[in-house]
Structure 1
Amino acid sequence: MAPARTPVLRHLLSCQTRTLRASNQRRWAQVHDVRFLATTQQPRSVLERYRDKLDRKAREEGHADIDSLKAAYADKIKALRQDAVAAPLTTTTGPAPSSQPEAASQQQQQPPPVAAAASHPAPPKSTSSASPTGIKPLSEILDLQKAAALPLEELTAIWRLRHAANPNSLCAVIPAATFATMNALARAHPQFVLPVPHPQQGGAEMHFLQWTWDAPTRSATVLFTRLAEYKARGEFAAPHTTATHYYGDELATSAAAAAGGGKGGVVLMQGAVVADRGVKVEEARWLVMCLQRFYGGWDGVESRERAEERRRLLEWFGKGDARFSVEKLMEEAERMG
């Protein structure tokens, strides 16, 4: 994960104290680990600790400096990091997310009998065609030819049932038009921060998110990492939750899926919460819901004013605009609760 390069993070530290003091009557009186917002560069302590070894390694391999060495190994570092999160992305069992408005994701319909889902299993594969990033193509998870011919209700039920046994899994069936809006905003603003409320502790914890795209599998993955973890490890920080969206043409333009109620087909999302990283599944679901709202997934459901305000926060954060603030972010998040 590349470190965020947004000047607005430095600005937030200077106004953090007075912002939190001014909001002490609000439901979330403070933000834990928000001090990290002052850090926009890779942690210096790690780099300095190994600078001599890195310099020596660079000289041995004929590189001019450490930056040149990092550039040469960029692909390998990215591949290794993706391998670390690939297992959650390809999980095929787990519970459906908690209830959300129907227009947000079309993911809460009750499944028909298991027999209906079992009649359309994914075809067996003798060899894997997974991307170098470790993400499986959707064709290895579902029989796309059969899935594209299914009514939306049955396709949704099958997708939910494939994730029904793993308590750490997430899944969703999203209208393709809705995801197109989210994807366009994500490409313009691939990094953002979101709060998770902890009312019992009188505050909220900040989480960093980053979108990545994988062309071979035609998927977009969101990686969620605790802000404190990202501060400590920079691009080597391990995400606690992943959510992969498959936007390939097979289902995104499916006439059968559209006939079932989704305009222009659907996009399937699957993800998982990594165990033993201190984040509950309910908190991960909250982050996914916030992701949808801030990236336009609920446009048309909420008021135009709220949608525009969240979009402005995305733009201000991405551009390093001083108008972005933690308090405004929390106000918008509170309105979702």
Structure 2
Amino acid sequence: MLSRRALSLAFRSRSALRTFSLSSVSRDAGLAYPQVSYEEKYAEKLRRRAQEQGKSVEQLRAELKEQERQRRLQKAKEESSKTSGTSETPLPAKSSPDASSATLPPSASAARKDSSPVKALSSIFNIEKILQAPHTPEQISILWRGYHASRSGGTGRGYLCAALPVETYEKMLEVATKHPRFVIPVPRANAQLEEGSTQPAYEFYLMEWGFHGSPQEPSTSADIFARPKPSSNPQTSTILFTPLQEYKQRTSFATPYLVITHYTDLAKTHGLVLLRGEITPSTASSPNVGAGEDSGRYMLSQQDAQLLAVHVQRFYLWSDGSEARAALLKAFHETPAEFKWEELLKHTDFAA
């Protein structure tokens, strides 16, 4: 499991986001499985287009959903670039010679050449330097954490990071490809409850996995004309976390508050998958930004971002003792009418 130590977290902040009591959320049946109902809204157009393209309605609907998710991921990246004001050029690490050599600015060829919205690992981390000298998985983990601790003026605010064993990631990936959506509750102690309500308040976050293909295995070869070999790395993936109420109101225009990316470039060479979490910076017009240490800076506090990240493994890494959590995830997809919010709260670790 991702622990408090495993994640590179800095300072805590408080966000006054819109919150709901459990009873108010449960009454809204539409929250059980939020999605854009293309088939209901555009049934005839959808059938016609599917027929024209030689696809089934289900295939076309899946493509439309993925296009929607890609738009929201791209929007989150653009918002982060516009408002963060911080350069992504790696800073020299101070801990060791190895650290400084691995965090030199990457080469100009680091940019991705495909249409993926995911920033290439080589634009963040100098893969060439890591390959030029032997690095153990432990050393790479230290470099990865040190790099993110140096962000935001040396505070690390706005980022999460961890290094996962590839076996752990592959187990989660197998589950995620079958069940790519779920909801995670975040407690809101200072929320305004409905009159007469004594139940705790929670804000529910919709999490959505996306898959972006397998990156090429890194190489020190300078032959730019060499034909790339088939990659044996697992797929790169992203997870978007968006307040459920905002998603219901704005669907494809809803801004994710947290984006987690799993970089698999070093999966086969070093047995590691590098996790990077980016909290969306707030804008001046954001109505949900509250007071606190990071007032006006981020849409989500470090503590809440950590809680969401920890629960990815809690619900997607199945093992002995996780049968009830696995059943909840399956029910959310297969029998949403039977999905119980009360059961979800029983299996959520708010002290994570």
- TM-score interval for Structure 1 and Structure 2 normalised by the shorter chain: 0.5 to 0.7
1:269 equivalent to 2:286? Answer no
Q: Alpha-carbon deviation of 1:152?
A: 2.0
Match of 1:296 among 305, 311, 317: 317
Equivalent position SS for 1:163: helix
- Rounded Cα–Cα distance in structure 2 between residues aligned with 1:252 and 1:309: 30
Q: Alpha-carbon deviation of 1:195?
A: 0.4
- Rounded Cα–Cα distance in structure 1 between residues aligned with 2:334 and 2:67: 29
Q: Alpha-carbon deviation of 1:237?
A: 1.7
TM-score of the pair, normalised by structure 2: 0.63
AA aligned to 2:305 is: A
Deviates more, 1:125-134 or 1:155-164: 125-134
TM-score of the pair, normalised by structure 1: 0.65
- Rounded Cα–Cα distance in structure 1 between residues aligned with 2:36 and 2:162: 35
1:226 equivalent to 2:211? Answer no
- Rounded Cα–Cα distance in structure 2 between residues aligned with 1:221 and 1:38: 25
The verdict on how the C-alpha distance between 1:204 and 1:79 changes in structure 2, with shifts beyond 3 A counting, is closer
Q: How does 1:254-333 map to 2 (within 5 A)?
A: 254=269, 257=270, 265-276=271-282, 278-296=299-317, 299=319, 304-305=320-321, 307-333=322-348
Match of 1:153 among 138, 162, 169: 138
More helix by share: 1
Q: Alpha-carbon deviation of 1:140?
A: 2.8
Match of 1:118 among 85, 96, 100: 100
Aligned residue number for residue 82 of structure 1:
73
Q: Does the Cα contact within 8 Å between 1:36 and 1:227 map onto a contact in 2?
A: no
Q: Does the Cα contact within 8 Å between 1:30 and 1:203 map onto a contact in 2?
A: yes
Aligned CA-pair RMSD: 3.9
1:158-216 Cα distance to aligned partner (Å, 9 max, x none): 11122122310111111111111111110010000110012344321111010001126
Aligned residue number for residue 204 of structure 1:
202
Q: Alpha-carbon deviation of 1:234?
A: 1.8
Q: Does the Cα contact within 8 Å between 1:223 and 1:242 map onto a contact in 2?
A: yes
The verdict on how the C-alpha distance between 1:79 and 1:333 changes in structure 2, with shifts beyond 3 A counting, is closer
1:84-120 Cα distance to aligned partner (Å, 9 max, x none): 1235599886xxxxxxxxxxxxxxxxx9815431122
1:30 equivalent to 2:26? Answer no
Q: Does the Cα contact within 8 Å between 2:73 and 2:256 map onto a contact in 1?
A: no
Query: Alignment length, in residue pairs?
Result: 263
- Rounded Cα–Cα distance in structure 2 between residues aligned with 1:134 and 1:335: 32
Q: Does the Cα contact within 8 Å between 1:33 and 1:227 map onto a contact in 2?
A: no
Deviates more, 1:83-92 or 1:177-186: 83-92
The verdict on how the C-alpha distance between 1:32 and 1:285 changes in structure 2, with shifts beyond 3 A counting, is farther
The verdict on how the C-alpha distance between 1:212 and 1:35 changes in structure 2, with shifts beyond 3 A counting, is farther
Q: Alpha-carbon deviation of 1:321?
A: 5.0
Aligned residue number for residue 98 of structure 1:
none
AA aligned to 1:315 is: K
The verdict on how the C-alpha distance between 1:291 and 1:335 changes in structure 2, with shifts beyond 3 A counting, is same
Q: Does the Cα contact within 8 Å between 1:31 and 1:206 map onto a contact in 2?
A: no
- Rounded Cα–Cα distance in structure 1 between residues aligned with 2:308 and 2:24: 16
Aligned residue number for residue 173 of structure 2:
183
Q: Does the Cα contact within 8 Å between 1:117 and 1:158 map onto a contact in 2?
A: yes
- Rounded Cα–Cα distance in structure 1 between residues aligned with 2:71 and 2:317: 32
Equivalent position SS for 1:315: helix
Aligned residue number for residue 171 of structure 1:
161
Q: Which structure 1 segments of 5+ residues have no match? A: 1-27, 56-61, 94-110, 258-264
Q: Alpha-carbon deviation of 1:131?
A: 3.8
Q: Does the Cα contact within 8 Å between 2:307 and 2:350 map onto a contact in 1?
A: no
1:195 equivalent to 2:193? Answer no
1:131-160 Cα distance to aligned partner (Å, 9 max, x none): 423212223333335436311221111111
Match of 1:162 among 147, 167, 185: 147
Equivalent position SS for 1:208: strand
Q: Does the Cα contact within 8 Å between 1:189 and 1:315 map onto a contact in 2?
A: yes
- Rounded Cα–Cα distance in structure 1 between residues aligned with 2:259 and 2:166: 20
Equivalent position SS for 2:347: helix
